[in-house]
């Protein structure tokens, strides 16, 4: 093996990060980071069929605002709905930059809350969206109910359209166990509260403990809350609903140690 290859191999062995992101959201671009990034999905995403009845419902409801809460949902919207809607006067709210990106590429103007979370969306609605505005939420079947409760209590006219289902991915359990038992993990990234719930249930079932120096990154506050309620007392860092920003933060924070 060449000297450079040996050096790179040592770098990869020096810092290992485990992610449990769904395969549908994990792309090859993540491979350019200077650490060993292992992705073992604990959930999987299943698109729902968007047919003419959904388009008819949207047109009949005649929304003023569309809220989209994930990049996966944003891509479904662009591919299956946007060109069939023929509306250029809509306001859009995206939970974060990754969610907004597919919309912006289509020339859509998007509001992004400063606090990139469900609570941030609620604050943005209070500040910028008139109460009489009709709102459609487009997301998964595991969407945060806090948003719905706010809209109901605030007497807002809204409907919810489920674009995809989030399911537990049972196929990767043994792979995860092998990783936890054989790798010296420096960091773990959990990108949803559902992932966190599954992850800690597996740890409990198998009586596995996380090393006290391992950092857990939670993609947002609901995920952090689930990690804490699962009994983890180690270091938790919270992202801003953006997976790539967490990867970049790991790269930036640790670059001096192994570059």
* Among 158, 3, 172, 181, CA closest to 65: 158
Per-residue pLDDT of the chain (259 residues; tens, 9 = 90+): 333 433 444 444 568 999 999 999 987 555 577 889 999 999 999 999 999 999 999 999 999 999 999 999 999 999 999 999 878 889 999 999 989 999 999 999 999 999 988 999 999 999 999 999 999 999 999 999 999 999 999 999 999 999 999 999 999 999 999 999 999 999 999 999 999 999 999 999 999 999 889 999 999 888 999 999 999 999 999 987 788 889 988 988 765 443 3
* Among 53, 61, 57, 81, CA closest to 133: 61
* Alpha carbon separation from 36 to 16, 167, 213 (Å, rounded): 5, 27, 17
pLDDT of residue 212: 86
Pairing of strands 16-19, 187-190: parallel
What is the model's pTM?
A: 0.86
- In angstroms, the CA 17 to CA 128 distance is 39
pLDDT of residue 259: 35
Bridge partners (DSSP) of residue 66 are 92, 136
Pairing of strands 43-47, 157-168: antiparallel
């Amino acid at each position: 093996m060449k000297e450079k290859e040996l050096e790179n191999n040592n770098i990869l062995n020096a810092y290992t990060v485990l992610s449990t992101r769904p395969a549908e959201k994990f792309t090859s671009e993540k491979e350019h980071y200077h650490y060993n990034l292992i992705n073992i999905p604990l959930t999987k995403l299943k698109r729902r069929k968007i047919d003419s009845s959904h388009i008819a419902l949207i047109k009949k409801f005649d929304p003023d605002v569309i809220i989209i809460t994930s990049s996966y949902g944003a891509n479904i919207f662009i591919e299956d709905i946007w060109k069939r809607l023929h509306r250029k006067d809509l306001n859009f709210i995206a939970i974060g930059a990754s969610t907004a990106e597919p919309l912006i590429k289509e020339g859509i103007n998007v509001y992004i809350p400063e606090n990139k979370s469900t609570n941030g969306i609620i604050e943005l609605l209070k500040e910028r969206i008139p109460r009489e505005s009709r709102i459609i939420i487009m997301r998964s079947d595991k969407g945060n109910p806090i948003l719905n409760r706010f809209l109901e209590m605030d007497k807002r006219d809204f409907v919810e359209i489920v674009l995809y289902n989030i399911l537990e991915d049972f196929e990767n359990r043994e792979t995860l166990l092998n990783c936890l038992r054989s790798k010296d993990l420096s960091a773990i990234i959990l990108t949803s509260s559902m992932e966190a719930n599954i992850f800690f249930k597996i740890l409990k079932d198998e009586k596995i403990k996380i090393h006290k120096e391992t950092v857990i990154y939670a993609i947002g506050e609901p995920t952090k809350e689930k990690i804490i309620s699962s009994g983890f007392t180690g270091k938790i860092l919270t992202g801003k609903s953006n997976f790539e920003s967490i990867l970049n933060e790991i790269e930036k924070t640790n670059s001096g140690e192994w570059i």
